[in-house]
Amino acid sequence: MIKMKFLACALAAAGATMLLPPSAVAANDSIAKNVILFISDGASWGTWDMASYYQYGELGMQSYDQFDVKLGMTTMPMNTSSRPTYNDTQMISYDPARAWDTTPVAGSYGGWQSYFAGYDYIKRDYTDSAAAGTALATGEKTFNNAIDYNNFGEALPYITQTAKAAGMSTGVVSSVPFSHATPATFGAQNINRNNYGAISYDMIYNQDLDLIMGGGNPLYDSNGNLRSSPNYTYVSSTAWNVLNSSDSPRTLITSKEDFEALAAGTLQVDGPLIGVPEVYDTLQYSRNAGVMGADASTPSGVATIDSVPTLVDMTMGAINYLSQGDNGFFMMVEGGAVDWAAHATNTARIIEEQIDFNLSVDAAVNWVNTYSNWDETLIIVLTDHGNAMPMGPDSDTIAFQPIQNNGQGVLPGVKWHYATHTNENTLFFAHGAGADLFYDHVVGVDDGLRDILAFNDGRYIDNTAPFQVMQAVMAPVPEPEAYAMMLAGLGLVGAFARRRRQG
């Protein structure tokens, strides 16, 4: 509740009138009752297209393709240091003219041939997922490695705390370990993203976080098989032992059946919840072809692990759990292994991961259409940064050639130009309650978004804007009557003060 404190009073003709005290200032509901943030981690422009071509044989068929708000979003960090540099100087920028420069160039950068000046430019000065996640979760730029810490080494408040303070239920869902950089920025504060053990412990005890779902199960390997001994890389032994004790601060679920029951609405859980599927790191990306065997129905031709839930199951389970409250919910859902596949320049696996992400967005959109509405729910779909620059097969001679469509169910034509993050202007989608507020945060026009990608009219925002808008739509809106009374009261105070001065 927004609290307003008034210390002045004024005299009216009929007698003394006191301004409303804080508790008397009425408020409507917030602009958005529910806020769902989807992050396809490491999705360059071509990543979205690859999955759509494989799914549908054409573009424009995804749920988010129908969203009202489409903008670019820059992702640069404050600097590329891995530790605080103790200043507030923004060292990294984005220049659209340089990013789309089609001038042929010789040489290479980062071990990859350059081809065009624009390619070289966006390969440099990129963010990591920690700094990008921090910008999304706190609205603050920082150094690479920081989990909700600023460049002075100070912890930052983050959007999950804002949501909880507003009375909302809160949750974080990921297809990679829940202590990994992106989910961590929505549930922890740590100066180093690699402190997985400390982050996992902090998250399970975080009272601002009702639900956690993600990988990192120490008892299983990447193929969903039990290990001979636990691997506590992503979840510390202390945290895991606590979760499996009678003193656990959360109910722990691990089986596919429990995730599916939660998604179906047949499993009810009271109190804080954590779901850690029976797999080590990623839901499916890290599975081994030699272990799993063949399955021609998947893009990679590799059979999937049948003992873990899908990201769709986790998304719907989270929505069912979080929507039980009366005050709405905030949830972040990450397709985290999209980034892992991009680092490996693995076309088939990135399509698998992006499709699972797409289907999760579909499920949330269907939930809004069935059980909520767009006047009370905001869905945001974005990536935290580009990765690996997938483009068309002749993009070494045709600058920024788009992905080649080879038809539904067929791997598209792709040429990769890098194997790590980029400083490209990324794609952003939003729809529902308060989505139009993103237009208030436009920082420029990028002709490449319009003329080369044919994505939108070129307008773009910075990655600090999502926090600003999410914070705004979660805040209570004062009643018009309260505003009128407040303004009238202030007018009386001003008149009384003027008369005192004149006297």
Annotated binding-site residues read 180, 182, 334, 339, 343, 384-385
CA angle 342, 346, 349 (to 5 degrees): 95
Active site residues: 129
C-alpha span between 49 and 395 (Å, rounded): 15
378, 32 Cβ separation under 8 angstroms: yes
* Residue 205 DSSP one-character state: T
C-alpha span between 12 and 16 (Å, rounded): 6
Structure tokens at 119: 């390619």
C-alpha span between 350 and 188 (Å, rounded): 28
Backbone angles phi, psi at 57, to 5 degrees: 75, 10
Helices (DSSP H) in 185-297: which residue ranges?
196-204, 237-243, 256-264, 289-292
Strands of 251-253's sheet, edge to edge?
Answer: 251-253, 273-275, 211-215, 169-177, 329-335, 34-40, 377-382, 426-432, 69-74, 459-462, 444-445
C-alpha span between 36 and 90 (Å, rounded): 29
What number of residues does the chain have?
503
How many other CB atoms are there within 10 angstroms of residue 273's CB atom? 22
C-alpha R_g of the chain: 24
Structure tokens at 256: 């596919």
172, 213 Cβ separation under 8 angstroms: yes
Q: Annotated binding site for Zn(2+), which residues?
A: 339, 343, 384-385
102, 118 Cβ separation under 8 angstroms: yes
Q: Annotated binding site for Mg(2+), which residues?
A: 180, 182, 334
CA distances (Å), origin 137, targets 86, 178, 188, 384, 397 = 21, 15, 11, 11, 39
